[in-house]
Amino acid sequence: SRVVKLAVIAGDGIGPEVIAEAEKVLDAVTADTDVTFDKTRFSLGADRFLATGDVLTDDDLQAIASHDAILLGAVGGTPNDPRLANANIERGLLLKLRFSLDHYVNLRPSKLYPSVPGPLKNPGEVDFVVVREGTEGSYVGNGGVLRQGTEHEIANELGVNTAHGVRRVVEYAFELAETRRKKLTLVHKTNVMVNAGKLWKRIFDETSEKHPEVAVDYMHIDAATIHMVDNPSRFDVIVTDNLFGDILTDLAGAITGGIGLAASGNLNPSGEFPSMFEPVHGSAPDIAGQQKADPTAAIGSIALLLEHLGLSAESQRVTRAIEQDIAERTDAPRTTAQIGDAIAARLTA
Ligand code: NAD
Ligand code: IPM
Ligand code: MN
């Protein structure tokens, strides 16, 4: 029998509510298998900061890194909470984990299920994956502020793109496209971000030569948002940088039934460090503690976790249970726990 060491960071706001349901589903799908998940819970996020002043200690990071995988709900408090003004939970916790554990592939699949009401009139068949770079770009935190507080204040955020960093994520995207409909779109802003743009385009073209069976095209990020709304079925795999990928995947969530359905994996494909699975959404302070959050995105992240661990059959069972639940949804409201129970029940039946 196999034991998987899973670090669980439920986090803030709706995080604990959706993670409770994700764990229910994980327990249900592994109940009759010889795989056991040995879970360690880490109390991290805004609540931990308010209680102790810590965001992520070196001990926390080391302990988390010693696990096989990580499940994360969401972290971050109410955006305008003055007590959190200097905490910077998002950088100090979420991004620190992604960077330290070298999560260079941020995998964000989007699929529109036939029964799901979406904002698009004629969406067609929508089934694409955004491969978002996870460790570079304007997320690195280089830069700084000069002449602070004066009328001549200068605030700089410097984007960093390395050949190594671009090549490995582009290579991953080509390999993923080979397992799918064999179409890969590079999204960037090469007309304005010319330095990074040239690097991305050159490496994309070079890598393309090694994968002649994958059809490629290029789009500027602004145009990509138009195409994602007008003709989303044209996309198979999209590869893009950290910031463009962040924005594009909230849009992708919105056109495929809402952010409550969007799952993601922060992958370290080499397996040197544990990968981390989390819904694309945040802690949603506006609905926290009310059992209003849709746990489907967190449960979908369980499917991605299982697939990453090589437990494909279990992953497919979770995906099928989600699909069946979605297909039978009505307008009748359900609590977070009711949705989790219904999906888990399909796995034990
Ligand atoms: P958000 O994703 O938390 O919420 C945006 C909107 O979507 C809100 O109206 C919310 O109610 C709704 N929503 C989100 N998840 C939902 C779900 N599962 N079911 C139903 N509705 C849902 O984004 P925000 O308001 O910009 O951010 C809130 C906090 O979360 C901030 O502190 C932000 O930094 C943080 N955040 C964390 C993560 C993460 O931990 N991975 C991701 C994004 C934002
Ligand atoms: C996401 C979030 C994070 C990001 C924030 C909270 C740092 O928006 O996971 O999409 O920008 O990557
Ligand atoms: Mn985001």
The mean per-residue pLDDT over the stretch 311-333 comes to 95
| Domain presence at residue 304 | yes
| Domain presence at residue 276 | yes
For residues 144 and 44, state if they share a domain: no
For residues 76 and 3, state if they share a domain: yes
Work out how many domains the chain is built from and give that number. 2
Choosing from 188, 220, 255, the residue where a domain stops is 255
The tens digit of pLDDT for each residue in 200-224 reads 999 999 999 999 999 999 999 999 9
Phi, psi of 106 (to 5 degrees): -105, 100
Question: CATH number for the domain including 315?
Answer: 3.40.718.10
| Domain presence at residue 296 | yes
Choosing from 232, 255, 278, the residue where a domain stops is 255
The response to whether 286 counts as a known ligand-binding position is yes
Please report the pLDDT score of residue 50 as a whole number: 93
Q: Is the pLDDT of residue 147 over 80?
A: yes
For residues 76 and 135, state if they share a domain: no
ipTM > 0.90 for the complex: yes
Ligand 1 site, residue 288, Cβ cutoff 6 A: no
The response to whether 289 counts as a known ligand-binding position is yes
The tens digit of pLDDT for each residue in 244-282 reads 999 999 999 999 999 999 999 999 999 999 999 999 999
**Beta-bridge partners for 71:** 8, 277
Q: In the structure encoding, which two tokens stand for residue 275, read together?
A: 């990968």
Q: Count CB-CB contacts under 10 A for residue 34.
A: 8
For residues 46 and 74, state if they share a domain: yes
Q: How far is the CA of 327 from the centre of ligand 1 (A)?
A: 24
Q: Is 111 a catalytic residue?
A: no
- Alpha helices of the chain — where are they, by DSSP H? 15-30, 46-52, 58-65, 89, 96-100, 163-178, 194-210, 221-230, 242-255, 296-308, 312-327, 336-348
Phi-psi region of 105 (alpha: psi -120 to 50; beta: other; left: phi over 0): beta
* Sign of the CA dihedral running 73, 301, 276, 156: negative
Give the confidence band of 85 by pLDDT, cuts at 50, 70, 90.
confident
| Domain presence at residue 207 | yes
Please name which ligand lies nearest the alpha carbon of 262: 1
Q: How far is the CA of 118 from the centre of ligand 1 (A)?
A: 19
State the average pLDDT for the chain: 96
Please report the pLDDT score of residue 86 as a whole number: 83
How many percent of the chain have pLDDT more than 90? 93
Catalytic hit among 139, 236, 241, 325? 139
CA distance linking residue 120 with residue 238, whole number of Å: 20
For residues 251 and 274, state if they share a domain: no
Domain that holds residue 220: 119-255
Give the confidence band of 30 by pLDDT, cuts at 50, 70, 90.
very high
Give the confidence band of 157 by pLDDT, cuts at 50, 70, 90.
very high
Least confident of 21-25, 55-59, 114-118, 136-140: 114-118
Ligand 1 site, residue 203, Cβ cutoff 6 A: no
Q: Is the pLDDT of residue 192 over 80?
A: yes
Please report the pLDDT score of residue 115 as a whole number: 85
Choosing from 255, 287, 321, the residue where a domain stops is 255
User: Please, are residues 24 and 344 in contact by the beta-carbon 8 Å criterion?
Assistant: yes
- SS3 at position 73: strand
Least confident of 83-87, 96-100, 142-146: 83-87
Ligand 1 site, residue 46, Cβ cutoff 6 A: no
Report which protein residue has its CA nearest ligand 2's atom 12. Answer: 246
Please report the pLDDT score of residue 269 as a whole number: 96
Q: Is the pLDDT of residue 308 over 90?
A: yes
| Domain presence at residue 11 | yes
- SS3 at position 185: strand
Q: Is the pLDDT of residue 61 over 90?
A: yes
Residues in CB range of 315: below 8 A, 6 or more apart: 303, 304, 305, 306, 307
Q: How far is the CA of 26 from the centre of ligand 2 (A)?
A: 24
Q: Is 246 a catalytic residue?
A: yes
The ligand 2 atom nearest the CA atom of 94: 7
For residues 19 and 96, state if they share a domain: yes
| Domain presence at residue 126 | yes
Enclosing H/E stretch for 92:
none
Q: How far is the CA of 31 from the centre of ligand 1 (A)?
A: 31
For residues 209 and 131, state if they share a domain: yes
Query: What is the crossing angle of helices 15-30 and 296-308, to 10°?
Result: 50
Please report the pLDDT score of residue 16 as a whole number: 98
For residues 97 and 205, state if they share a domain: no
Please report the pLDDT score of residue 236 as a whole number: 98
| Domain presence at residue 264 | no
Q: Is the pLDDT of residue 99 over 90?
A: yes
The mean per-residue pLDDT over the stretch 187-211 comes to 98
For residues 142 and 167, state if they share a domain: yes
The response to whether 338 counts as a known ligand-binding position is no
Q: Is 54 a catalytic residue?
A: no
For residues 12 and 96, state if they share a domain: yes
Q: Is the pLDDT of residue 79 over 90?
A: no
The tens digit of pLDDT for each residue in 162-179 reads 999 999 999 999 999 999
For residues 87 and 174, state if they share a domain: no
| Domain presence at residue 197 | yes
How many percent of the chain have pLDDT more than 70? 100
For residues 249 and 274, state if they share a domain: no
Place of tokens 């249970």: 321
